[in-house]
Homo-oligomer: A and B are copies of this chain.
Amino acid sequence: MEMIPVGLVGVTGYTGMELARILVTHPVLRLTRATSRAEAGKPLKAIYPFLQGFPAGDLSITAPDAADLAAACRLVFLAVPHGAAMDYAAELLAAGLSVVDLSADFRLTDAAVYAAWYGLPHRHPDLLPEAVYGLPELYAASIKQTKLTANPGCYPTSVILGLTPALSAGLIATDGIVADSKSGSSGAGRKANTPMLFCEVHDSFRAYSLGKHRHTPEIEQELSKVAGSDITVSFNPHLLPIDRGILSTIYTRLLRPMPVEEVHALYDEFYADKPWVRVLPLGKLPETRHVRGTMFCDIGLVVDPRTERLIVVSAIDNLCRGASGQAVACANLMCGLPVDAGLHFAPMMP
Q: For A198, A201, A307, which residue has the most chain B Cβ atoms within 10 angstroms?
A: A198
Contacting pair A202 B185 (CB below 8 A): yes
A71 lies within 8 A of chain B by Cβ: no
List chain B residues, Cβ under 8 A from A182.
Answer: 182, 205, 238
1/0 per residue A331-346: CB within 8 Å of B? 0000000000000111
User: What is the CA–CA distance of A72 and B18 in the complex, to the nearest angstrom?
Assistant: 39
Query: Is the Cβ of B203 less than 8 Å from the Cβ of A203?
Result: yes
A190 partner, pick from B54, B199, B307, beta carbons under 8 A: B199
Q: Count of chain A residues with Cβ under 8 Å from any Cβ of B?
A: 87
Interface stretch, picked from A78-86, A151-159, A163-171, A286-294, is: A286-294
B232 and A313 form a contact (CB under 8 A): no
Copies in the complex: 4
Interface string of A290-314 (1 = CB under 8 A from B): 1111001010101010110101010
Interface pair A206/B14, CB less than 8 Å apart: no
Cross-interface CB contact of A53 among B53, B197, B278, B300, cutoff 8 Å: B278
The answer to whether A207 has its CB under 8 Å from any CB of chain B is yes
Q: Quick one: which of B186, B251, B285 contacts A208, CB cutoff 8 A?
A: B285
The one of B236, B278, B285 in contact with A210, judged by C-beta atoms closer than 8 angstroms, is B285
**Contact (A211, B348) CB under 8 Å given A182-B182, A202-B203, A290-B50:** no
The closest CB in chain B to the CB of A23 belongs to: B346
Contact B307 A243 (CB under 8 A): no
Is A131 engaged at the interface, CB distance under 8 Å to the other chain? no
Interface bits A46-79 vs B (CB < 8 Å: 1, else 0): 0011111110000000000000000000000000
Q: Report if A229 contacts B (CB, 8 A).
A: no
> Which of B25, B347, B348 interacts with A292 by CB under 8 Å?
B348
What are the nearest 3 A-B pairs in CB distance? A211-B304, A204-B289, A199-B350
